[in-house]
Structure formats: structure tokens, C-alpha cells
Amino acid sequence: MTDYVEGAIQSIAESIRFDSSLQKATVGAPFGKGAHDCLVHFLSLAESLGFETHNYDGYVGEVLFGTGPEEFAILCHLDVVPAGDGWKRDPFGGIIEGGKIWGRGAIDDKGPAICCLYALKKLKDEGFVPSKKIKLIVGCNEENGWECIEHYEEVASLPEVGFSPDADFPVIYAEKGILHVRLHFPIERAPFLFLEGGEVANMVCDHCEATPRTLTLTRARALNLETTAKKIIAHGKSAHGSTPEKGVNAILPVLRFFEPKSPEVRYILECLFEDRYGLTKLSDETGHLTISPNIIKFRKHELQIVCDIRYPATKRVEEVHELLRLFGVKYETLRHQEPLMQDKDGELVQTLLSVYKECTGKRAKPVAIGGGTYARALKCGVGFGPEMPGDPPLAHQPNEYITFPRIELLLKIYRDAIEALTK
């Protein structure tokens, strides 16, 4: 094992130990102390490796390598989604065990960010002089709105070309559009006193609970709901909001419990879980539209439900809005990001495919995903790793990890890719 791999392993473990999920802002820490401290750790590490760094007000940082007239971006993020339930190890312990580093952010996206940093270090030590100014940019708000990138564009110059190591191999040439909406379903005679579940919009709800006006134990048991003296509780399985089929949504069985007692709840199920108005029929080469109801709250005679919608890259967001308006309820847009679509035969995609083949021995074609990466912030950007075809889903799930062999492979792939694109 090389010094670079060993260094990356220790640095990833250290980074995981910062809970960099979104927290209350403080002076100099717009996304909370954990994200701030994680950013400082990363930039301090980069400085110790001999790089120039900048911290832009706690929103985002950058590591610079080279002085060429053109610029090239490597876009990563250090923030994470909340840990959620179901962990067998401390999600912020950075535990090294069994040839793996365990913890939230290991694969999404602290591990790849640090692998890119050590790839730059290896190139630097080899005497490589890039023809472009390489900017390794690390944001702290990727999971919750991209305020970090917005701030970066205000105070620095964002390159036009680059990649984000926050997706899948071989190369991601297209990403669906992202639309987060909050729907307000009226519930005039609610069969519950309390109903709440979910933490963030882009993570499948893994815990939901309610206080029924009448607790029917037989129905609760039939739906595998946990019960207390007054509550029903559903435990699901978290997953990335772009792939809801890989998770188990805890909101569904809770709504099913109340379905016989409320036509309004029945209508919500039809709209959001049974696709009454055909949203998922929208499709193209990037796949079908997906909709994942991930946060639910009972407030003032209505159920407020936040949904993560990923729509096909060649479709217009207005087509989605036309279908949402058929629900006949008030809703608001919380977040919208336009799709990404790059030329499959362009220089960026083909160069990265060539590097992937050289490093893995596998010939592959570029692919499209429902997830959203920083790549879409660039005029010409793509997603490039760290996950391989056939990997178990790890991002936004409990027991997230990255293996030592994957770290070693990422160091080689990213080293070669950076050299090929900036020589």
C-alpha cells in the first residue's frame, strides 16, 4: 500500500468524524459548526500537502494546482445528509475495520474528495506541470440547496469545464432535472392528532409516526407498524431520493393505516404512491420520472408533504408542473435544478471513458442518472465515479463505507484523468 493510499485512508476517517450535516448557522459557519470544521480540516490538509487554498466565508473552499491560462474544475462536497437509523457502527466515528472506512460521507462525497486531493499530490510529487489552473472546489451545501456554489460564483470564477467525483463510473453524461415541491393537502377531519416523518427532501423517509384518534391494533399489526400506548411508528429504509425504489418509505404504511377512515388520505395515496395523474409516464433516454414523498408534517388542518421529483433530461419542468396542478392542491417549489446533458462523443466524455478503460480494463458507454451533482453547475461538466456498476447502494443509506481497494483505484483513475485533461 503506497503512502498516498495510507494518507487518504487516514484523512477520510478524520473527515468522517465531523458531522457536517446541515445545522444552525453561526458567525463564519453558514451551514453549522460541523460543516465549517470539516472544511477547515480539508483545507488544512491540502496546505500541509503543499497546495494554495482559499476559504470563501465558510461556504466553500478551493485547492489550486497550476497556473495555466485556462481553468479546470474538480467539484466535490463535504456536507452530508443526516445519519438516519439502522447503523451498526457510529456514523460519525470514521471507524477503520475489515478493509473499509465506515461512516456518513465515506462514498458521498468525502472519500472521493480526499482521493482527488491525494491524486493532485501524487501528480505534484511526480513533477507534473498542468497546462491549466486546476481548481479542486469543495462545497458545504450540496445536499441542501447549493448556496455554496452560488456564493463561489459571487466571489470567485467557476471554470467552464470539469468533472464531479460524486456519481458513478464510467462517465455520467446526463442527469435528470431536480424538482423539490411542498404540497399542501387539506385534512378537515383528520383521523390523527399528530403525524410526522422524514428529515431531508432528497433522502427516502425511514421513520414516520402518528398519534391516531383511535388506535386499531389489528390494523397496525397487519401493516407491520410498531405501537405504543398512543402512537403508531413505521420504520423504513433510507435511500437516495433519486432512487426511491432502493429504499422503503415509512410514510406509506402510516397513510395506509388511516386510509379507511379518511377519503382525503386515500386521495394523497392515489396522487403520490399510485401515480393517479401519470407523472412517472414522462420518460426519455435518461429514464422515467421518479417521485419520492420524503417529508410529511400535519399542520393546521393540512398534511404538508415534500416530494423529491427527478424528471427526464429532455423534458421541460413546465410539463411536470402541468401534472402537479391536476392534484388540485396548493404547492410551492422549494428547489429546482435544470437537467444536465452533455455530448457523448465530446472530448471530455471520451477522454474519461478512455481513462476508465485503461485503469479497469473495461470498455463501457456513458450513462445517465437521476441523481444531481455539481457537474451541472459547469458549462461542460460530467459526473465521474466513485461508484462502480454493480456496487451495492451506499449513498444516503445506513452503514455507508468505502473500501481500501476502491480508494487505491480512485487515486489511480483520478490521477490519470486529471493528467489527461490538463496536460
CA distance 229 to 355: 59
CA of 29: how far to CAs of 26, 53, 140, 168, 416, in Å?
Answer: 5, 18, 10, 30, 35
The verdict on 153 and 46 lying in the same domain is yes
- What integer pLDDT is reported at residue 284 of this predicted model? 93
With H, G, I as helix, E, B as strand and everything else as coil, classify residue 221.
helix
pLDDT tens across 69-108, in order?
Answer: 999 999 999 999 999 889 999 999 999 999 999 999 999 9
3-state helix, strand, coil in the chain (%, to 5): 30, 30, 40
Residue in this structure with the C-alpha cell 507534473, named with its chain if needed = 128
142 carries an active-site annotation: yes
CA 20 to chain centre: 13
Residues 21, 64 within the same domain = yes
Per-residue pLDDT, averaged over 344-361, amounts to: 97
Per-residue pLDDT at 172 exceeds 90? yes
d(CA 1, CA 160): 35
Q: The cell 391494533 sits on which residue? A: 217
Q: Please report which confidence band the pLDDT of residue 288 belongs to, taking 50, 70 and 90 as the band edges.
A: very high
Catalytic residue among 79, 175, 308, 416: 79
pLDDT value, residue 364: 93
pLDDT of residue 84: 87
Distance CA 105, CA 110 (A): 5
| Prediction pTM value | 0.85
E strands within 214-262?
Answer: 226-227, 232-235
Q: With bands split at pLDDT 50, 70 and 90, how would you rate the model's confidence at 370?
A: confident
112 and 18, same domain (yes or no): yes
Q: Are residues 115 and 217 in the same domain?
A: no
Q: Which of 262, 268, 266 is nearest to 191 (CA)?
A: 262
**Rounded Cα–Cα distance for residues 316 and 338 (Å):** 9
Rg over CA atoms, the chain:
22
Residue-wise pLDDT for 128-137, tens only, equals: 999 999 999 9
Task: Look up the CATH number of the domain holding residue 322.
Answer: 3.30.70.360
Cβ count near 47 (within 10 Å): 12
Helix (H, G, I), strand (E, B) or coil at 241: coil
Do residues 328 and 363 both lie within one domain?
A: no
Q: What is the pLDDT of residue 85?
A: 87
Annotated active-site residue in 19, 37, 109, 142: 142
Same domain membership, residue 138 and residue 111: yes
* Residue 67 pLDDT class (50, 70, 90 cuts): very high
Q: Does 24 share its domain with 133?
A: yes
Helix axes 33-48, 110-125, angle to 10 degrees: 20
Instruction: Give me the pLDDT at residue 300, please.
Output: 87
C-alpha closest to that of 80 among 125, 113, 121: 113
User: How many whole angstroms separate alpha carbon 406 and alpha carbon 390?
Assistant: 13
Query: Do 38 and 143 belong to one domain?
Result: yes
Q: DSSP state, 179?
A: E
Tell me how many degrees the CA angle 110-111-116 measures, rounded to the nearest 5: 95
Cell numbers linked to 6: 495510507
Q: How do strand 207-212 and strand 232-235 relate by DSSP bridges?
A: antiparallel
Containing structural domain, residue 223? 177-337
Which of 247, 250, 229, 230 shows the shortest CA–CA distance to 238?
247
- Of the residues 309, 337, 365, the one at which a domain ends: 337
Residues pairing with 332 in the sheet = 182
**Are residues 271 and 395 part of one domain?**
no
Strands 302-311 and 367-369: unpaired
pLDDT of 372: 84
pLDDT (0 to 100) of residue 145: 85
Mean pLDDT of 115-140: 98
Using the structure block, give the residue that is written with the C-alpha cell 460524486: 166
How high is the mean pLDDT of the chain? 96
| Biggest CA-to-CA distance, the chain | 72
Convert 59-92 to b/e letters by CB count within 10 Å (16 or more is b).
bbbbbbbbeeeebbbbbbbbbbbbbbeebebebb
Domain count, the chain: 2
pLDDT at 371: 81
Q: What angle do CA 70, 71, 74 make, to 5 degrees?
A: 155
As a whole number of angstroms, the distance between CA 240 and CA 314 comes to 22
Q: Residue 149 in 3-state DSSP?
A: helix
Instruction: Tell me the average pLDDT across 193-207.
Output: 95
Residue 176: pLDDT band by 50, 70, 90 thresholds? very high
Of 317, 337, 357, which residue is a domain's last? 337
CA distance 305 to 181: 8
CATH code, domain carrying 394: 3.40.630.10
At CA 212, angle to CA 208 and CA 213, rounded to 5? 160
Q: pLDDT at residue 10 above 90?
A: yes
- Which of 310, 337, 364 is the last residue before a domain boundary? 337
- 146 and 46 in a common domain: yes
Do 23 and 158 have their domain in common? yes
Residue 59: the pLDDT is: 98
Question: How far is the CA of 276 from the CAs of 323, 326, 327, in angstroms?
Answer: 10, 10, 9
> What is the pLDDT at residue 303?
98
Q: What is the DSSP string of 269-321?
A: HHHHTS-TT-GGG-EETTEE-EEEEEEEEEETTEEEEEEEEEE-TTS-HHHHH
On whether both 396 and 361 belong to a single domain, the answer is yes
Say how far residue 35 (Cα) sits from the centre of its chain.
15
Check whether 1 has a pLDDT greater than 80.
no
